[in-house]
Amino acid sequence: MIKFFSTIILISFSTVLFALSGQIDTVRIAEQTALKKLSTDYDSLLHSWYVSRSVSYFDTTETVDIDTQSTVGYLPSDSVIMSNMATMPVFFDMTYNKIVRAYFKVYLQDKRELTETVLGLSEYYFPHFEEVLDSYNLPMELKYLPIIESALNPRAVSRVGATGLWQFMYATGRFLNMEITSFVDERRDVTASTYAAAQYLESLYAIFDDWTLALAAYNCGPGNVNKAIRRSGGKTNFWDIYYYLPRETRGYVPGFIAVIYIFNHQQELNLRARKIEMPLITDTVNVTAKLHLGQVAEVMQIPLKKLQDLNPQYRRNIIPGGKAYPLRLPNMLATEFISLEDSIYAYKDSVFFNTKALTQTPNTQRYYGDAPSGNYERMTYTVKPGDNLGFISEWYNVRISDLRHWNGIRGNVIRSGQKLVVYVPKSRSANYSDINQLSFTEKQKRIGKTVAVTTKTHNKNYPEDAEYEYYTLKKGDTLWEIAKKFDDITDRDILQMNNLSSGRYLKPGQRIKVKLLN
């Protein structure tokens, strides 16, 4: 009997240790992910004229008498944080746990200099965010979201191509009617991108009726959040679906909670905002003719990099004209620009707009992501007709974002015959060695999905007078995500049912056929 109870105690103790080990690993992964992203953001941010100049100024000024905890990175106790959170007048659920605390450590200790830089930048950016959020009647706490997304860097570009303060992918930006051309990228424009973000966040909240889930969906897409809800058995609390979400999304909400607290308690945390000398008040003039920022800089004697930071949406420093484009200038210089306008347009126009300058293109060298650290094997998959990244990610049990990262893909477009690099654990590489030789049906069967015989042809017969099940499109929907909600249906089938060649022009609120009723 004693031996029996000892065994039970030993098993229970082992179970507890295993659970604690899992929590520790989760916290460690959260820290490593946040640190990697923030390091990239900060390195990029330092190229900004305002930031580089102000950080240099900050570092060389006389030190002031502040609490020594500021230099070592003061991290409050759990009881202090929880007590303060309980009384904070914020709209969001301020859950506190070990994962959230990991982000406190990152922002207050590991990347304290970034936090102080962002505190300084917020004085310029927050009024822009607050004005737009107020016009949409959205929670003001959403102004902290670009800190998690881009560290308030309008030129930030993620490893999968998300761009700007609010980190929009190209397809999402176009869906939200943002101008993205060779000369203009409104994802980098503070006003245009904030209006688009407010519109998108409003639509996500309409889907989930929960701001925490809306934030998660902003990061990984509503389809992934819905999938996590289904896998959890229908639970709709973020922490209940936490382990069903993509790894990068798991740290998104905890980081957001930490930032809200830090910005509301910066004095108690002995944070010293860096004095970023961006003009808190700017003037904007409308430019309707082709204009180079270099012309403005030289005639008005404004540093070009200063103008670039105020107008990061102009990719080649050229305002293309043809319609009204905003030019943001330091305070009180709009009147001077108007008085010098003719001189500015005429200044060195043959130099700034010579054929070579206009035809220069950015570096198009393709970027391929690094292999994952650890014991992984590199495999190659040849894309077959009808394949998409969603299918391939399921066949190899990897994330779509990793497939994009490893292969330098932006968006979802792949072509038949293209070779994709996939990394799988060496211990399971034998399971994937024959995927290239399998048919579509065999690959689906291997992951537990059956395929109707009719899916072997790409030209199904969908009569006009037949009965169909319909689906009303929501903002953020993709045909691939919609198809996964129905048995034996692919995105290609939906296109054929609706006599479409692509889903590019589908709009929210539109009803489409999704399944033929027998």
pLDDT digits (tens, 9 = 90+) for 175-215: 888 999 999 999 999 999 999 999 999 999 999 999 999 99
Q: Which domain holds residue 308?
A: 282-359
Closest CA to 443 of 376, 397, 407, 497: 397
Which of residues 264, 290, 316 is at a domain's end? 264
Residue 277 in domain: no
Tell me which of 10-24, 274-288, 410-424 is least confident.
10-24
pLDDT band with cut points at 50, 70 and 90 for residue 457: very low
Give the residue-averaged pLDDT of 276-287: 86
Tally of domains within the chain = 4
Residue 232 in domain: yes
CATH number at residue 512: 3.10.350.10
Which pLDDT score, from 0 to 100, does residue 42 have? 53
Residue 345 in domain: yes
* 475-486 pLDDT, tens digit each: 767 777 788 788
Look up the pTM and report it: 0.62
Which of residues 327, 359, 391 is at a domain's end? 359
Residue 276 in domain: no
Give the residue-averaged pLDDT of 498-514: 77
Q: Are residues 146 and 88 in the same domain?
A: yes
Concerning whether 202 is annotated as a catalytic residue, the answer is no
Helices H / strands E in the chain, number of each? 23, 8
* Displacement of CA 430 from its chain's centroid (Å): 34
Does the CA dihedral 469-475-477-479 come out positive or negative? Answer: positive
Q: Are residues 147 and 14 in the same domain?
A: yes
Closest CA to 317 of 299, 296, 293: 293
Q: Are residues 59 and 93 in the same domain?
A: yes
**168: pLDDT strictly greater than 80:** yes
Q: Are residues 391 and 499 in the same domain?
A: no
Give the residue-averaged pLDDT of 369-392: 79
Residue 167 in domain: yes
Strand partners, 358: none
Q: Are residues 219 and 173 in the same domain?
A: yes
* 77-117 pLDDT, tens digit each: 999 999 999 999 888 889 999 999 999 998 998 888 889 99
Cβ pair 169, 160 in contact under 8 A: yes
Q: Are residues 310 and 427 in the same domain?
A: no
Q: Are residues 93 and 223 in the same domain?
A: yes
Closest CA to 100 of 248, 205, 207, 250: 250
Buried b vs exposed e over 441-471: b needs ≥16 C-beta within 10 Å? eebbeeeeeebeeebeeeeeeeeeeeebeeb
Q: Are residues 104 and 176 in the same domain?
A: yes
pLDDT band with cut points at 50, 70 and 90 for residue 426: confident
Q: Are residues 421 and 493 in the same domain?
A: no
Tell me which of 21-35, 250-264, 320-334 is least confident.
21-35
Which pLDDT score, from 0 to 100, does residue 65 have? 38
Q: What token pair was written down for 114?
A: 């970034």
Cβ pair 433, 470 in contact under 8 A: no
Residue 424 in domain: yes
Q: What token pair was written down for 100?
A: 């959230």
| Phi, psi angle pair for 22, to nearest 5° | -65, -40
Q: Are residues 352 and 381 in the same domain?
A: no
pLDDT band with cut points at 50, 70 and 90 for residue 11: very low
Q: Are residues 211 and 308 in the same domain?
A: no
Residue 270 in domain: no
Q: Angle at CA 404, nearest 5°, toward 398 and 406? A: 80
pLDDT band with cut points at 50, 70 and 90 for residue 399: confident
Q: Are residues 240 and 348 in the same domain?
A: no
CATH number at residue 161: 1.10.530.10
Question: Which carries the bigger pLDDT value, residue 504 or residue 161?
Answer: 161
**404: pLDDT strictly greater than 70:** yes
Cβ pair 420, 380 in contact under 8 A: yes
Give the residue-averaged pLDDT of 298-309: 91
Residue 217 in domain: yes
Q: Angle at CA 427, nearest 5°, toward 36 and 383? A: 75
Crossing angle, helix 98-105 and helix 252-264, to 10 degrees? 60
* 312-342 pLDDT, tens digit each: 999 999 999 888 999 999 888 988 999 999 8
Catalytic residue among 149, 341, 442, 481: 149
Show Cβ contacts of residue 193 under 8 Å, excluding neighbours closer than 6 positions.
154, 164, 165, 166, 168, 178, 186, 187
